[in-house]
Structure 1
Amino acid sequence: MSIFQPLASPKRLSHVVVFVAGVIAALLLGCLAAPSQTPTRDKLLWPFATTSPWNMPIGSNAKYVDAYIGSKGVGVDTDWFITTKESDPVVATYMPGGWDKDRCTGTQPQQQAQWHPEAGQPLKVPDDLIIADARQGFTPNNSSAFLMPDGKTLVSFNVTARCKQGGPLYGNWFGEQDIYGDGIDGGHGGSGMSSIGGSIRKGELLNDEPIRHALKIVIWGKWLHYNPSSPTPGRRWPARLADGGAANQYQGPNPALVMGSLLAIPPKVTAESLGLTTKAGKKILAAMQDYGAYVVDDSGWDYNYLCLERSAELEYEAVTGRYFNDDTALQGDFSKIIAAVKVIDNNGRDSVGGGGTPRAPLAPPIGN
C-alpha cells in the first residue's frame, strides 16, 4: 500500500476545480462591477484647490536661507470660519468703531462699498454667533470668512466683532473668494491673505493624523524687511499687501523675510534635536517641514502667533483643560520651532514650496 494518498478522487477534484474557478470568477466580476473610489476631502475641514499654496508641500528644490526672528513670546491669533444657511437672519455689516475697544459701535458703512457695491450688502449670519470686542491687552485681528449658503462663496472680514446675539456684524470687508479656488486672498489685513487658509483646524493638534497643509504665523514687523526699491516693497507672493505703515514698521535687515514669506524647518531637524516635548508641538514641527508657514500679519509687538480657527482653540481647551496661551510646554515647543525656521527663498507662483518633488502627497480633490 502506498503511503502517498491522493488528495481527492478525480471526480471530487473536478468539483473542487469548478468551485475555485467560480470563486475567482465571482471576485473578478465583483472587482469589475465595483466603481473605483477616488479619495476626496471635506472643503469645510480642508478647503481650496489642490494647487493652492495652502495645500502644496515643500519641494525637493527648496532653497533654505536664514530667517532671524528674535521674539520668544508665542500665542494664538484666532481665525473665524462660519458656515451660513438660507434660514439664517440677514444682518447689516458696519465698519468697526475702533481697534482697541468699542468695535461694536456705530453704523459706518463698509468703506470698500464705494468701489465694490457687494461690500455694502447685508449678510446672512447665524443668530447665536458672538465674536467678542477688544479690550485692554486683547486686540485680536479676528480675521473671518463666512461661507454663504451656496456652499461656494466666502465673504471675508478683518477686525471682526459681534458683541450681542442677533446684532449687526462689525468688521473691515476684505472681499469675496471661492472655497474651491486658490485660497490666497482674504481678511488678514497685513498681507491681504486668506482668513482660513493655513489656519489649524479642529482635531489637527490632537488627533493622530499629520497636518496636511501650510500654516500661518504672525510675527513682529521689526523682523520684516522693507526695500522701497523693490517692485513689491515689504512683501512677496502670495501676499498681495504689506502693512500701510510698512516703511516704518518693517525694520529687519534680511531681504528674504518679508510679508508673505514661506517659513519652514529644514528636513534634518528632528523633534529630539529641538527638545520638543508635546504632541501638538511635534505635529506643528512636522507640518513646518512638509508644508511650511506663511507670514500673514504684523503682531505689533515682541510676540509670535500661530493662527488657529476658533473651533480648534476651543477644542484644545476642552480636551487638555488649558488655554493654548497658558500651556507653557506647548509654548516652549513653538518658541523652539520659531528659532529654527528658515525662509524658502525660491517659493513663488511657478515654484510653490520651491518646486521639485513634493515632500508629501498632494491634496485629493474636494468631494462636493
Structure 2
Amino acid sequence: MPRFTALTLAVALAVGSLTAQAAPLPQERTLGQLEPVFAFQDAMPTGVTVSETGRIFVNYPRWGDAVPFTVAELKDGKAVPYPDAALNVETPGQPGKGFISVQSVVADGRGHLWVLDTAAPGFAAPKAGGVKLVAIDLKTNKVARTLVFPAAVLEPNSYVNDVRFDFRVGRAGVAYVTDSAPPGGLIILDLATGQAQRRLTGAPQANVDPSFVPVVEGEPLLMQRPDGSKVRPAIASDGIALSPDGGTLYFSPLSSRHLYAVPTALLRDLSASEAQVRAGVQDLGEKGASDGLEADAQGRVYAGDYEHNAVRQRQADGSWKTLVHDPRVLWPDTFSIGPDGYLYFTANQLHRQAQFHNGQDLRQKPYSLFRVKIDAQPAPTH
C-alpha cells in the first residue's frame, strides 16, 4: 500500500484544486443567431428603421449625451446626419421646423421616412409647437411635409414615443402614437387633415403598473431623486405595433410586463366614448418587460425582454417564443423588420445610465445595432 507523507498529500490536494479551477463551469445558455450590424461609439441611440430598399436610419434623443445630430443614416460604416446637419438642430423661433429631440424614426414602406420629434430634450416639458411628425422623401432626401401635433391632444408633460402607420384608412392614412409620460395614452393623427384625437389617457392599460419593479442585470432598476431617495421608473405607453390587416393595435407601457390590444376602428370612431374604448382593450397577458414592439406580415408580434437580455416572438396561438437570449442584448430598445427578412434592433444599455446608479454612468461603448433572421416581411402599411 502506498505511503502518503504530509507533503505528498498537500501536493495532491493542490493539484486537485487547480484542476477543479481550470475546469469550465456551467453557464447560462445563449439562444438565437445574433448578428452585429453597427457599433455606436458616440451618443446612445434609441430608434432604428429599415426602409423597403434596405437603407438603415437611427435616431439619438437629446437626453444628456452630446448629440450633434438627432437623426442619422448608417452609410458606408458611418452615422451621417439625415437628411442634413442643418435640419438636425432646433430652428430659433420656429419649433415646428428643425429637429429638437427625436425619439423614433419609421420608414413607411412607401418611400418616406417619418421622424417623430418629442420637442422635449432632457424629458423637459415639450416646447409649444415643436411636437411633430416630419415626412422625408427617400428619393429626394427632402422634407415632404410636417404635421405639428395639436396642443389639445398633448398633456403638459407629454413625451411622444413611437408611431405606426396605416395608409388604408382615411384619405391619406393615420398615424398611431404612444405618449409615454404618465398618465399615458394613445394619439390618433389624421395624416390628411392633421387633426388628432387622444384615447386611453390615464387608463390602467396605458399607464404605469404601480406594482411593477424591473430587475435588470440582477438589480432593481430605481431612479435617484435629487434628495437621494429612489423611485421606480414611471414610463407609460411606449411600444406599439400594428397587425398586418391594420385592424388591431398592440401597445405596452414600459413600466409593465403586459401586452394590450385594441381594435383600431374603435380608436378612430369619433362617436365611441372613452368608456367604450377602454372596454375594448384586451389584456393579452405577460410578455416580459419590453421597450419597443413590432409585428410581421404573418401577424407575429416581437418584443424585447430587457430584464432577461432577450427578444421574444408572440405566435399566432398567443404563446411566446424566445428568439434571442444573449448577454450582449443590453436593453433591447426599438425594432424594425427589413426587406431581407431580418429583425433589427438597438441595444443601448439604457438601464446603465447615471440616474439609475447613484450618479455613476455605467454604460460601456459601443452601443449596438443587431439583427436576427426571422424569414418574414414587415406588416404592410398599404
TM more than 0.5: no
Higher share in strand: 2
Q: Shorter chain as normaliser: what TM range?
A: under 0.3
Higher share in helix: 1
Report the TM-score, using the length of structure 2 for normalisation: 0.25
Please tell me whether Structure 1 or Structure 2 has the larger radius of gyration of its CA atoms. 1
